[in-house]
A and B are shown apart, each in its own frame.
Chain A
Amino acid sequence: MTEGTKGYAKPADLPDDVRDHLGSLLIVLADNKRLLGMRYSDWLLGAPALEAGIACSAMAQDEWGHGRILYAMLRDFGYEANQLEHEREASEYRNMELLDGPAGEWPDLLALNLLLDTALSVQFEAMAESRFEPVHYKVSKLLDEERFHFEHGRGWVTRLGSTDAGREALRRSFRPVWEACLRWFGPDGDEAGRALHQAGITDKDAAGLRARWLERVGPVVEAGQLELAEMDGGGSGVWLSRVEPSWDGWDPDVRRGARGGPDADMLARVRGDKNRPLLMD
């Protein structure tokens, strides 16, 4: 938050449209964090190296912690945190489609790790100086914890990308995730992105966030020769996608292409159905 600018201490202080957009964004982020954590947890055992399994365990915990904080914040937006976390149907979730089902192979998980996790971090980073104080005061801790997630993804891409077979596997896994992440920020001129930016809740609109994400992941996928990004040949230093996202069926409210949500197994796990007797306050 820039010194001298007026902050918003609680959701009720926000203009109505901004409050709605921000509440919606926080659900999107919370759901993606929660589901991504579950996907990391699928690899606690069976990752290619013991260290990778341990890293997945740590990353899963981080994502669940972030989800917990976000769901709790939504109480002040008029939502019931317990209902959001434990009682929704699959179609009410606002996670990226990519997280509906399991990451089948290790390169699929790496694509989520490097591309999707970084997209979420870019969205948080945009709120580091947010005028909405409850978010502003939490983001630096979240980003602190996210730093090693990116390094983990980068390390693995660099390593696998150095071999022909590894590179081919990465190309197959990264392409769909790349397209989904490009789209996740919303189209240029997206109404919610513009409203949040203009109100000082974020420091970039949808196009700006996408550019920041490309700047972050572009050099890594280019070094891995994944043929997804390139630097602008005009010398601007801007990273460009070599793939254009499709906006067919895009639903800006849930920030995904089609309503659906986690598959039955994942839904039961993410809601904690099996452990309902253990649920506490």
Chain B
Amino acid sequence: MKEMNFAAVLAESLGEGRVLPSPPEWTKPPADLAEKCRRALYEVSDPEFLISLVDLGLIYGISADERSGEVAVRLTFTATACPCTDFIKWDIRERLLQLPEVSDVKVEEVWDPPWTTSRISDRGREILQDAGIAIIG
């Protein structure tokens, strides 16, 4: 273990092995870069559930500078002791940086208002219910 750079190994493994339900079918092009980013995050899953971060209700806001390509994501977690905080932040950065318009991604951790199951989208609820997970609240 001492010879292994664990962080580097984890970073190299980003995005591997995730199979997510298809994102929603969009009928219109995104209005702006922030919306484009939001749509891209439908392809980033929570590491524990097969559901996107957007459907889980963890994305509290996205702002994007159209000229510089700098993007800021306001993100919460289901619990303060979420064991996957770093993975989620890495996955967000990795996916958004795949967009040619995006030059940099900053992820801000926020806790207000506190996340509850009421923030899960209807689509997210259906996906979880199909997987046998009951949502209370």
Q: What residues of chain A have their CB less than 8 Å away from a CB belonging to chain B?
A: 61-66, 68-69, 72, 136-138, 140-142, 144-145, 277-278, 280-281
Judging by beta carbons under 8 Å apart, are A140 and B79 in contact? no
Of the candidates A63, A69, A140, A280, which one forms a contact with B114 in the assembled complex, judged by CB atoms under 8 Å apart? A140
Show 9 A/B contacts (Cβ-Cβ < 8 Å), sorted by A. Answer: A61-B81, A66-B80, A68-B80, A138-B111, A142-B111, A277-B1, A277-B2, A277-B4, A280-B6
Closest CB of chain B to A201's CB: distance in Å? 17
The 7 closest A-B pairs by CB, nearest first: A65-B81, A65-B80, A61-B81, A137-B112, A141-B114, A141-B111, A280-B7
A277 to B8, CA, bound (A): 12
- Chain B residue numbers with a CB within 8 Å of A63 are 81
**Most A CB within 10 A of own CB, among B6, B109, B114, B115:** B114
Closest CB of chain A to B81's CB: distance in Å? 3
A43 to B1, CA, bound (A): 28
- Chain B residue numbers with a CB within 8 Å of A277 are 1-2, 4, 6
Q: Which of B70-109 contact A (CB under 8 A)?
A: 79-83, 86, 109
- Chain A residue numbers with a CB within 8 Å of B62 are none
- Chain A residue numbers with a CB within 8 Å of B113 are 140
Q: What residues of chain B have their CB less than 8 Å away from a CB belonging to chain A?
A: 1-2, 4, 6-7, 10, 79-83, 86, 109-115
- Chain B residue numbers with a CB within 8 Å of A64 are 81
Of the candidates B2, B4, B80, which one forms a contact with A142 in the assembled complex, judged by CB atoms under 8 Å apart? B80
Closest CB of chain A to B108's CB: distance in Å? 11
**Most B CB within 10 A of own CB, among A63, A141, A145:** A141
Judging by beta carbons under 8 Å apart, are A145 and B80 in contact? yes
- Chain A residue numbers with a CB within 8 Å of B4 are 277
A142 to B82, CA, bound (A): 13
A254 to B48, CA, bound (A): 39
A145 to B81, CA, bound (A): 10
Of the candidates A62, A136, A138, which one forms a contact with B79 in the assembled complex, judged by CB atoms under 8 Å apart? A62
A138 to B4, CA, bound (A): 36
Judging by beta carbons under 8 Å apart, are B7 and A141 in contact? no
Judging by beta carbons under 8 Å apart, are B111 and A137 in contact? yes
A72 to B110, CA, bound (A): 12
Judging by beta carbons under 8 Å apart, are A144 and B81 in contact? no
Judging by beta carbons under 8 Å apart, are B7 and A61 in contact? no
A138 to B108, CA, bound (A): 13
Judging by beta carbons under 8 Å apart, are A138 and B112 in contact? yes
A143 to B109, CA, bound (A): 18
- Chain A residue numbers with a CB within 8 Å of B80 are 62, 65-66, 68-69, 141-142, 145
A141 to B2, CA, bound (A): 37
**Most B CB within 10 A of own CB, among A66, A136, A142, A280:** A280
A61 to B80, CA, bound (A): 8
Judging by beta carbons under 8 Å apart, are B111 and A280 in contact? no
- Chain B residue numbers with a CB within 8 Å of A137 are 110-112
A62 to B81, CA, bound (A): 6
Closest CB of chain A to B132's CB: distance in Å? 21
Closest CB of chain B to A162's CB: distance in Å? 31
A62 to B114, CA, bound (A): 14
A69 to B110, CA, bound (A): 10
- Chain B residue numbers with a CB within 8 Å of A145 are 79-80
- Chain A residue numbers with a CB within 8 Å of B110 are 137
A69 to B79, CA, bound (A): 11
A137 to B76, CA, bound (A): 12
A140 to B81, CA, bound (A): 15
Of the candidates A65, A72, A136, which one forms a contact with B82 in the assembled complex, judged by CB atoms under 8 Å apart? A65
Judging by beta carbons under 8 Å apart, are B86 and A281 in contact? yes
